[in-house]
């Protein structure tokens, strides 16, 4: 795993935290992904973590981003949107993804159920949960940073790789996670802020 700003946690600390969230109903017994968002939220940098669990069993961890990058924050108007999508934190998104393809070109976890988040349109270089909640199908996928899927490849800067998607910045780690989850019918996601 690449270095991030997020501190380390025990499995128990993470499980206790996700169980304490207001919309928690159950811990998925199959594979599910937990995002931990850096409090620092360094602009345009992959500084978050993704944990893969099966039930309450830790499987692996990697680095990535749960925030839009520079392109999404500053150029959302190119998509004709009312702001770049920012996924809701400290919240469960049950059965959010199914195995599929990101933009038809990359094996990925593709949005399957409505996602809850916000539209950030103030272009202040910070990913913020501001305004009213939005719910819908916005193409919020889980993918990596290269269509070539070259093992060993990684990036430090987000750039245009996230305009709302959850993105792993190490291709080797990403392929490992996909190998675990690709045959599962749906994959749940939970995002928490660093605590």
pLDDT of 109 reads 98
- Please report the DSSP string for 142-174 in residue order: EE-S-TT--TT-B-SB-TTS-SS-EEESBHHHH
Phi, psi of 171 (to 5 degrees): -60, -40
pLDDT of 135 reads 98
CA 135 to chain centre: 16
Q: Tens of pLDDT along the chain (195 residues)?
A: 667 778 899 999 999 999 999 999 999 999 999 999 999 889 999 999 999 999 999 999 999 999 999 998 998 888 767 899 999 999 999 999 999 999 889 999 999 999 999 999 999 999 999 999 999 999 999 999 999 898 889 899 999 899 999 999 999 999 999 999 999 999 999 999 999
pLDDT of 151 reads 87
CA distance 188 to 31: 8
Query: Per the confidence metrics, is the pTM higher than 0.75?
Result: yes
Q: Where are the domains of the chain?
A: 11-193
pLDDT of 1 reads 67
Contacts of residue 75, Cβ cutoff 8 Å, sequence gap at least 6: none
CA distance 192 to 195: 8
pLDDT of 2 reads 67
pLDDT of 87 reads 98
pLDDT, tens only, 175-194: 999 999 999 999 999 999 99
């Amino acid at each position: 795993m690449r270095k991030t700003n997020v501190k380390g946690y025990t499995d128990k600390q993470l499980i206790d935290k996700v169980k304490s969230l207001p919309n928690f109903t159950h811990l998925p017994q199959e594979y599910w992904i937990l995002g931990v968002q850096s409090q620092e939220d360094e602009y345009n940098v992959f500084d978050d973590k993704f944990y893969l669990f099966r039930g309450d069993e830790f499987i692996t961890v990697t680095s990535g981003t749960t925030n839009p990058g520079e392109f999404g924050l500053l150029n959302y108007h190119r998509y004709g949107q009312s702001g770049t999508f920012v996924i809701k934190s400290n919240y469960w998104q049950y059965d959010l993804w199914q195995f599929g393809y990101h933009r038809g070109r990359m094996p990925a976890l593709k949005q399957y159920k409505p996602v809850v988040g916000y539209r950030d349109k103030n272009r202040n270089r910070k990913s913020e949960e501001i305004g009213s909640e939005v719910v819908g199908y916005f193409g919020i996928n889980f993918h990596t940073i290269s269509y070539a899927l070259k093992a060993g490849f990684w990036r430090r800067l987000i750039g245009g790789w996230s305009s709302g998607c959850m993105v792993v910045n190490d291709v080797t780690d990403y392929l490992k996670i996909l190998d675990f989850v690709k045959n599962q019918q749906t994959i749940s996601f939970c995002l928490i802020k660093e605590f």
